[in-house]
Copies of this chain bind each other. A is one copy, B any other.
Amino acid sequence: MQVLPKALVEVIEALGDLPGVGPRTAERYAYYLLKAEPSVAERIAQKLSSLHSGIERCQKTFALVEKGQTLSPLYTDPSRDKKIVAVVAESFDVAAIEKTGHFRGTYHVLGGLVSPIDGIGPEQLHITELVKRVREDKVKEIILATNASVEGESTALYIQQQMGHQKVKITRLARGLSVGVDLEYADQITLGRALEGRTLL
């Protein structure tokens, strides 16, 4: 016998798609929303609906921008130094670095890291655009702000090889990051120190 109404079962199943959310947690969320005012569930639904449609990618940095913007304010802002580029794997790494308040350069989002196991090769990342940008913007320094993981290191190495013939200083984040810790979960102080102490490759 179906004990729970279909609408509830479907919400539990759908919430189970969130990362790290098992059936028990999904149930807890669903019961909470059912007990709360309908407006709470409705607000989440509405915001989720317009998540993708309200967001675009900066054509230069590939960071997230508002719908209709072609360039990120983190790139166009005159106070940002276009000759210093922090290269990150994902767009959320930008937010993590911005929170430190230690960085006045611009960003370049690769869209992932080289990972043969997951079938991600360097050609799927925005690396050719980075090389082009280094030339066009006369970039003096690129900071490889990738995770301290095998994928992060391989990607940094690959980028270094691609830059070989260009006059650009290549640095990477200081070994303040613990091996195995994702950049997005690093605390602000650690990440800030890692930025300050970046080392020449």
Contacts and interface: CB of A to CB of B under 8 A. Distances in A.
A161 interface: no
B52 A34 contact: yes
Interface stretch (A5-13, A116-124, A127-135, A138-146): A5-13
A11 B92 contact: no
B51 A41 contact: yes
A94 interface: yes
A192 to B, nearest CB: 16
A4 interface: yes
A185 B23 CA distance: 12
A49 B54 contact: no
A7 B18 CA distance: 18
Contact of A30 (B13, B51, B90): B51
A77 interface: yes
Interface string A1-38: 11111111011011101111000100111111111101
Interface of A: 1-8, 10-11, 13-15, 17-20, 24, 27-36, 38, 40-55, 64-67, 73-74, 77, 90-92, 94-95, 98, 184-185
Given A15-B44, A31-B92, 10 more contacts: A3-B95, A5-B66, A5-B67, A6-B66, A14-B46, A30-B51, A35-B90, A44-B45, A45-B45, A48-B48
